[in-house]
Amino acid sequence: MKAPICNICLKTEDQLCSHCQNKLDDGKITDKEVEVSRILYELSDNNPSLQDSEIVQVLDADRVLVVVTSEGDGAKVVGKRGRVVKKLAEQVDKSIRVVEQASEDREVIKGLLSPGEIESINKVYTPDGTSRKVVVDEEYKQKINLSVDELEQFMEDITGTGYTISFEEV
Ligand SMILES: [Zn+2]
């Protein structure tokens, strides 16, 4: 399993090696990523698909924990019949959303918005330059479990590009 922390730190419980500790101190990884990486590593004993997966990032929202995997690894982290995410949800007491990295931002955004769907992604011209607006049918607003602020922050965290989100009647 590949994770934001190294293989040695996956297996320990309290301390981090100096390399991982530095990453934590520099804000390159978060406490939540350390915690979730270790939980998933423990679960990999009984869920072999996890052993061959890569956890890229863990994003913590109020009600949801977003686990970002490398492309193609989403199903491995979800586990058979959702077994892994169910266990993880119990331990962190939040619902879990697994999103795969993708070369197309649209795919990442789709994963974050699930079960909502993208109506359109529009370029918006502002005095500060261009921005991109993702339009989603407002009927999904309550079903996504992530606030607009959280969605916008996570879209940028994962894709590196700024998007705004707009729930609209379509
Ligand atoms: Zn380490």
Q: Give the pLDDT of residue 13.
A: 87
Convert the pLDDT of each residue in 144-165 to its tens digit: 999 999 999 999 999 999 999 9
Cα 5 to ligand 1 centroid, rounded to whole Å: 5
**Domain parsing of the chain, residue ranges:** 1-101, 102-170
Distance 46 CA to ligand 1 centre (A): 23
Q: What is the DSSP letter of 2?
A: B
- Whether 1-101 shares its CATH topology with 102-170 is answered yes
Domain range 102-170, its CATH number among 3.40.50.620, 3.30.300.20, 3.40.50.800, 3.10.20.90: 3.30.300.20
The alpha carbon of 10 and the centre of ligand 1 are apart by a number of angstroms equal to 7
pLDDT given at position 126: 84
Distance 133 CA to ligand 1 centre (A): 38
| Ligand 1 center to 26 CA (angstroms) | 14
Cα 82 to middle of ligand 1, angstroms = 28
CATH topology of domain 1-101: GMP Synthetase; Chain A, domain 3 (3.30.300)
Strands 163-168 and 129-137: parallel
Q: How far is 102 from 99, CA to CA, in rounded Å?
A: 9
Close Cβ partners of 155 (under 8 Å, ≥ 6 residues apart): 105, 108, 109, 112, 134, 161, 162, 163, 165
pLDDT less than 50: residues of the chain: none
The pTM (predicted TM-score) of the whole model is 0.93
